[in-house]
Structure formats: structure tokens, C-alpha cells
Amino acid sequence: MAKRLRSSEVCADCSAPDPCWASINRGILICDECCSVHRSLGRHISQVRHLKHTPWPPTLLQMVETLYNNGANSIWEHSLLDPASVMSGRRKAGPQDKVHPNKAEFIRAKYQMLAFVHRLPCREDDSVTAKDLSKQLHSSVRTGNLETCLRLLSLGAQANFFHPEKGNTPLHVAAKAGQTLQAELLAVYGADPGTQDSNGKTPVDYARQGGHHELAERLVEIQYELTDRLAFYLCGRKPEHKNGQHFVIPQMADSSLDLSELAKAAKKKLQSLSNHLFEELAMDVYDEVDRRETDAVWLATQNHSTLVTETTVVPFLPVNPEYSSTRNQGRQKLARFNAHEFATLVIDILSDAKRRQQGNPLSGSKENVELILKSISNQHSSESQDNDQPDYDSVASDEDTDLETNTAKSNRQKSLDSDLSDGPVTAQEYMQVKNALVASEVKIQQLMKVNINLSDELRIMQKKASKLEKQSSVSEGDYDNPTTPLELEETGSGRKGRQRSIIWQGEGSIPEDTDTAPSSSLPSTEDVIRKTEQITKNIQELLRAAQENKHDSYIPCSERIHVAVTEMAALFPKKPKSELVRTSLRLLTSSAYRLQSECKKTLPVESCPGTDIQLVTQQVIQCAYDIAKAAKQLVTITTKENNN
């Protein structure tokens, strides 16, 4: 785990004290509020990682710390350091500025538009300039001057540049010189440790040849970073590269569910992709894993006493204008996969990556990646598409890359999606079971403290207000039929005619009560808080059982949680008028159902040696987390509405 940097550090964007996030590719430290903006820009702009709650390769953390301490931020704020910029009225954001629009506009200008970086004199042939910069980078990486290399990369130098005279790349030079931090920086900017020079040698070969064995091992890790992270996301394990093991392929606990015709067809299409398209899909899934893991850390580390905040999670991958519209749409669809669907896709990618590396090719195909995503996402859900409403972030056409337009549309869509994404919470915060459960329990305890504090404050308010009429049953409610993540994501966009694919309590789908008029009344905040406390108490019991490996306690705990969830849902009208209330209730009840389903998978563990109990536990934690998040959302909504 990362060691904390000096307490005197300040946010590179707004100068707030004690920043707890890092932007790896920018070489800076940032605060919570600025981090929320960085995340909304996408990994192609800023790669964020928490300093404490995310595992770090030691040399990667050392690289970021070195860049920060040596003034890397001045690269991105070059013109702001000019006294003339003060005269022109340009200034950086301050700690007291609002996130929107002040900090957000500054951060977008700084990193997306590169408005303040040093500009080279205009030349007619930009390719010549890029070549010159790359040659400078090639010679600079043999030294320890990281900020010089970052400056060259920021100006357009290519990390994978193949020097025509020298016959190698900057990474070959850094590896031969034993410059570990330079190798880390080059890798962040896309340098490939497997590239061969004119003599057929890779950077790994030169590191070993020079006696830099730790660097050689780290370069091998970087080479397999994508598949390593996908495997770790699912099962908390990484392969032993030292022993020649380069892949870990997790197994699903309920492998029988993977035999559907749609799953087989999707896997076949995946295998028939060209290497180029397969690599694109794998990189997109990697980005989605990063989004989900960072969401987990983000939600776990926020101050839950602030129920209404300007900062939110990122509901799906932001648009990358360098990608085609089809690819951007496919990337955003990944957020709609539930835990099982996404795990299936990840395992298929890991299996096929191993097959491809071992040289077992299949006939190539120009099959679109979009069809693969659609096939997998349809394993558990059938949908009727209403094209009048947008599902996702606005995606640029292949010809249109107007960043300002896309950013504005992106923000509007995010305001609709809010904090209601249904992605799994796994890996670095939750996949190593012991640490995961401790972190989850701390988060639940924080929520309970918030509920208690709110309850005390609101009792005084409730004495002066009449209690709203409570509904005693939800057996026919609009939210009684849990939905798949596909349906969950679409409720805010006016989707109609969804066919239920998951049945509440296994008794069949109950039709909506069309005779009941939508109701805008909400229960008292005090009642919602009391039921939330009951839910979180039961979740704590489940997490303790998981921490102590008492798998036989999963089912009774899940049943108690289900009862508590049903009682909380009963507080609300059968057909709430608020779209946000309906969506939160769907997340609450569908997560409770999924929790019961996941807990039942522990029954055959002894008789079925192929069951991965760690993967089951991860899914159980995910469902419990989603229930707690939905309950918190309902507390937030009722508090806000009842106070208006």
C-alpha cells in the first residue's frame, strides 16, 4: 500500500491542503473535489488513483512523488506563472471556489484544452516537430530528469518512438541505463516493454543484461498489466510471472449459467475478432474495470455526512474523441453489465488473451465489437429500444470531435444519471476479502452515524410537521419487480415495455397497477432513517460473517436484509411520482434479490470443488454495498424533499 506523502502537500489545481488523490499521467496530487472533475474527463485525459486506499507498485508511486516534488504542475500551468497572466485576469481555481462551474472549467482548460502549457513556435510540418521532440526524449531518458521527459511528452514526443539511427525506443534506453522511474513514466504514456529493437532484443532483455533485475521484473509486470488487473479484479490474485505463469483465469461459481446460446455466440464472436479489434475491446474493458474500482474507493472515502454534494460518481466511461462513435457507445454500454455479465466478459477476454499469446489463431473476422457487447448484455435481459431518448453520454461522430460540445452534453446526461450506476464494487477496495470487508464495514458504520445524527436533528423538525400517510404493502407496487441493470439505467430515460428477466421471490412478474395514480407524497425522513439503520445493521452482520468465513450464515443474513428492505419499500407510495425515488427503490429491491441469489451459491461449496468462494463473496459484498447505497439515496431524497 502507498505511504502517505508529506502533510504539507497541496492540490495542484486549487491549492486545497492534504490532497489524497494522484493523477498519474500528469504527475500531480489533487483533492477530492478536483478529482471528481478529473474522473469526468476520462482516463485519456487523467488517470487518477487514491494515495491510501489503492495498492501502488512502489516505483510508480515514487515516480508520481518525484514529478510532483520537482514542479511537474508548472508544465500544465506554464503561462499562468507569467506575471502578465495576472494582469489579463487569468487565475487558477482556489480552495473556496465552487466545483461547478469554477473548478471544473479551470481543470478542463488546464488538461483537456492544454490552455496554459508552453507552446512551441509554429512550424509548417508538425511531424518534423514531433520527430525532433521524440529524439530529445530518446536521449533524455538515460538521465534521471523526469520532469524534462514529462515536458517533452506533453509537447507531443512519442513514448514508443523508434529511433531510425539508433534502432531502438526510449524504453530500451531507459532499461539499459537502469532508469526505473523513466521506464514507469514511458509506460504510463504507452511505451511497450515487448517492443524489439533492431537486434531483436526487448527492454526486458537489456534490463537483465545490465543487472537491473528488479526493473526487469517490473517491466514484465507492465507488459501483462492489462490481463493482471482483469484477473485481480475478479479473484484478488495475480500470476507469478517469475515462475513463468503469466495468466490467471478465474472460474465462475455457477458455471452452468454460462452455457446459454447467447453466451456461446458472444464467446465465438470474441474469438473470431482480429487481434487489433480484440486489443481495443480488452483496453475498453480495462478502462471499465478502472472506473468501477475507482468508484468503489470514491464512495468509500467520501464524507457521508454531506448528503447533497456537487461531486458524484462517474456513471459510465466518458467520451474519448479519438475513438469512433461506435466504439464510444460500446464502451459506455459496459457500465450496464451486472456483476455476473461483466465477470463473464472479463473471463472470456482473459481466456482468449492466453490463447492468442500461445499462438492458437482462429479465422479472422470483421465482426463489430458492439455485437459482442450486445450479445453478452442480452444474456439476462431482453430490451425494446426506444430511440427517442439518449441512453448515454453524447458520443461524437467519427468526423465530429468538438470537445466543448461533447463536454456540455456529457454534463447534462450525467446530471440525469446522478449516482445511480449499478456497477460492481471489487478488486482493490473489496476483492482482498479481509481488507475489503473492513473497508465496507467502516463505510456502513459511517452511514449509520450519519443516520443517527440526522435522526436527532429531524425529530425536532418532525414535531412541527404532520407525518405523511404510509403505505402498508408493496405487493403490487411499481417498484416491486426488480429489474436488471439494463432496465435500471434506462428508467431515467423514459424506457417503456421492459420484459422482466429477474422475478421477485421467484413467483412471477407482477403487472404494474395502472389504476393507481402517481403519488408525490413521501414518508417522513425519520421513518426512512430508522429503516435504513435496520438495513445497515443487518448488512454489518453479513459482512462480519464473510470476514470470519462463516459462509453458512450468508443465507439467513440475506433473508433478514430482504425483510428489512421490504419494510423500507413499504414506506413509499405504490407508484411514486418522482423518477429518482422509483429508480432508487428499484436498485434497493433488485439488489436485495440478487443478494439472496448470490448467497444461495454457497450451498454446494463442499460438494463442488470448482466453486470460487472468493468470487461469490465479492458478489455478496457488491450486492450489500448496492443496498446500502440505495438506502442512502432514499435518505438523501426524502431529507431534501421534506425540507423544501
Residues 516 and 475 placed together within one structural domain of the fold: yes
CA–CA gap between residue 370 and residue 328 (Å, rounded): 10
382 and 249 in a common domain: yes
Q: Which three cell numbers stand for residue 70?
A: 520537482
Q: Say if residues 502 and 586 touch (Cβ distance below 8 Å).
A: no
> In the prediction, which pLDDT does 583 show?
86
Give the cell for residue 515. Answer: 389504476
| Cα R_g (the chain), whole angstroms | 26
Grid cell for residue 489: 439505467
Asked, for residue 233, whether it belongs to a domain, the answer is no
Burial environment of residue 298 by CB neighbours within 10 A (0 to 12, 13 to 18, 19 or more): buried
The answer as to whether 578 is a domain residue is yes
Q: Which of 360, 395, 417 is the last residue of a domain?
A: 417
CA angle 323, 64, 83 (to 5 degrees): 85
* Residues contacting 45, CB < 8 A, separation 6+: 38, 111, 112
Q: Can you give the pLDDT at residue 407? A: 39
Instruction: Order the strands of the 21-23 sheet from edge to edge.
Output: 28-30, 21-23, 48-50
Grid cell, residue 8, equals 504539507
Same domain, 98 and 141: no
- Length of the chain counted residue by residue: 644
Task: Please check whether residue 328 is in contact with residue 396, taking contact to mean a CB–CB distance below 8 angstroms.
Answer: yes
Q: Locate 413 and state its grid cell.
A: 446526461
C-beta of residue 538 within 8 angstroms of C-beta of residue 558: no
- Sequence-distant (6+) residues with CB within 8 A of 132 are none
Whole-angstrom distance, CA of residue 233 vs CA of residue 339: 11
Minimal CA–CA distance to 630: which of 456, 476, 482?
482
**Domain end: 165, 195, 223, which one?**
223
How many other C-beta atoms are found inside a 10 Å radius of the C-beta of residue 107?
A: 28
Percent composition of the chain: helix, strand, coil (DSSP 3-state, to 5): 55, 5, 40
**Position 551 in a domain:** yes
Bridge-based pairing of strands 48-50 and 28-30 is unpaired
Of 417, 437, 460, the domain-final residue = 417
3-class DSSP state of 22 = strand
pTM: 0.62
Q: CATH code at 157?
A: 1.25.40.20
Using an 8 Å Cβ cutoff, are 480 and 589 in contact? yes
Q: Which residues contact 506 (CB under 8 A, 6 or more apart)?
A: none
Are residues 276 and 319 located together in one domain of the fold?
A: yes
User: Do 475 and 370 fall within a single domain?
Assistant: no
Q: Is 279 in the same domain as 149?
A: no
Q: Is residue 382 part of a domain?
A: yes
Which residues pair with residue 581 across a beta bridge?
none
Domain extent for 464? 427-643
DSSP 104-161: HHHHIIIIIS-TTSPPPPP-S-HHHHHHHHHHHHHHHTTSS-HHHHHHHHHHT--TT-
- Unique residue bearing C-alpha cell 457521508: 304
CATH number at residue 29: 1.10.220.150
Q: How far apart (Å, rounded) are the C-alpha atoms in residues 380 and 338?
A: 9
Distance CA 338, CA 589 (A): 15
The secondary element (H helix, E strand) that includes residue 629 is: helix 613-643
Distances (CA, A) of 368 to 270, 330, 377, 393: 10, 10, 15, 20
487 and 408, same structural domain? no
Mean pLDDT, 10 residues at a time, the chain of 644 residues: 57 96 98 94 96 94 97 94 67 89 94 89 68 95 96 94 96 98 98 96 97 97 96 91 91 58 80 92 97 89 56 83 92 91 92 88 45 47 36 43 38 34 39 45 51 49 43 36 35 30 29 58 87 86 82 88 91 86 88 87 60 76 84 85 78
As given in the structure block, the three cell numbers for residue 637 are 431524497
Grouping H, G, I as helix, E, B as strand and the rest as coil, residue 62 is helix
Q: Are residues 433 and 408 in the same domain?
A: no
Residue 237 located in a structural domain: no
Number of domain units in the chain: 4
Let me know if residue 6 belongs to a domain: no
b/e per residue, 35-47, with b = 16+ CB within 10 A? bbbbbbbbbbbbb
Q: Are residues 501 and 577 in the same domain?
A: yes
Q: Name the nearest CA neighbour of 334 among 347, 343, 324.
A: 343
Give the pLDDT of residue 421: 35
Collapsing DSSP states into helix, strand and coil, what is residue 97? coil
CATH, residue 507: 1.20.120.330
DSSP 8-state secondary structure symbol assigned to residue 102? I
Residues 405 and 434 in one domain: no
Does 101 sit behind a cis peptide bond, omega within 30 degrees of 0 on the bond before it?
A: yes
Flag whether 120 is in a domain: no
pLDDT attached to residue 468: 38
Q: Is residue 235 part of a domain?
A: no
Whether residues 32 and 164 share a domain: the answer is no
**Closest among 293, 243, 312, 303 to 442, alpha carbons compared:** 303
Distance between start and end Cα atoms, the chain: 44
Helix (H) / strand (E) containing 357: helix 339-357
431 and 413 within one domain? no
pLDDT at 626: 83
